[in-house]
Homo-oligomer: A and B are copies of this chain.
Amino acid sequence: MDDIITLSYGSGGKKTSELIEDIIVPHLKNDELLKLNDGAVLKGFSKMVFSTDSFVVNPYFFSGGDIGKLSVCGTVNDICMCGGEPRYLSLSFIIEEGFKTKDFLKIIESIEKTAKECNVKVVTGDTKVVEKGKGDGIFINTSGIGILKYDFLGKDRMKDGDLVIVTGNIGEHGVAVMLEREQLITGVNLISDCMPLNILAKEILDFKEKIKIMRDPTRGGLATTLNEFVEGTDLGIELYEDRIPVSNEVNMACEILGIDPLYSANEGKIVAVVSSDIAEQLIEKLRKVKGGEKSAIIGKVTSNFKGRVTLKTEIGGTRILTKLTGMQLPRIC
């Protein structure tokens, strides 16, 4: 391998083989990988979940993670949120000519580590290289397949009186990436919450039909995701500002940056609507899981404000939270 990745590595010829054999395969080898070129043959499932995400995060290394970790978590988490148990991932790179081979290796190592952590296998892949100035370092697509384990989730199952829970402090990923990118504020130690959600998701889904719907509030943040929950239904969601967990660091950074933690992306949190009778018990369980320590009940489903999300502020007012409009934080995932 050369020190930098040149256009030849995307040619489909010898150099491409070198990139795959020398860097990718040693880290991601498994029983199913590369048995046949250009596709993997897999054991099937009776019902499955299929998901895809492209990652363009800038910068590709940030506090708490990198584009490799994010690419695995992002798709794994989407599968979990659909009630699936993630099994297989595809992995596709678009690399800008001149990208440092050692950075690529770091990203592959990070993919390897995260995939092991969530027990998924990378089984097929692709690599393209574009000319300098026609990309931005590295973009990654992962698509994933999981077994559908819990097939009851859906917004149509929400009811007046259900409660809204979140598994911890919100807004951390968006703000961490933003700070890393702009180098705006010094002295604030903010780490992305990027992590696989398979364990937290399993804890939640163990409550079966008591769980109505769940999602990881990534782009657009908590407020946008909750809007998607009530959109097209006869229900609204009422949030209580004083119960929403936000770290001091995020609050401080958001004030300086002029952004709202409710709209800042998360990459390691679940928001779920659950039956009120199990909410306390669920929160207790989640708080014992790594990454779930700050789980909290933050609001409720109501038949008021049909299709709307409202926020009871700490000073007693009510604010309507719409979906994110325009662009708040581009390229945070």
Contact = CB atoms under 8 A, between A and B. Distances in A.
Interface stretch (A85-93, A164-172, A195-203, A249-257): A85-93
Given A11-B324, A92-B141, A153 B36 contact: yes
Contact of A50 (B49, B84, B124, B141): B124
A145 B52 contact: no
A208 interface: no
Contacts of A55: 128
Contact of A88 (B46, B50, B88): B50
B136 A41 contact: no
A145 B50 contact: yes
Contacts of A6: 327
Contacts of A148: 41
A323 interface: yes
A38 B326 CA distance: 21
Interface string A226-262: 0010000000000000000000000000000000000
B52 A48 contact: no
A321 to B, nearest CB: 12
Q: Indicate the member of A39, A58, A81, A219 with the most B CB atoms within 10 Å.
A: A39
A180 B157 CA distance: 53
Contact of A16 (B12, B92, B219): B219
A307 B56 CA distance: 40
A219 B11 contact: yes
A47 B224 CA distance: 38
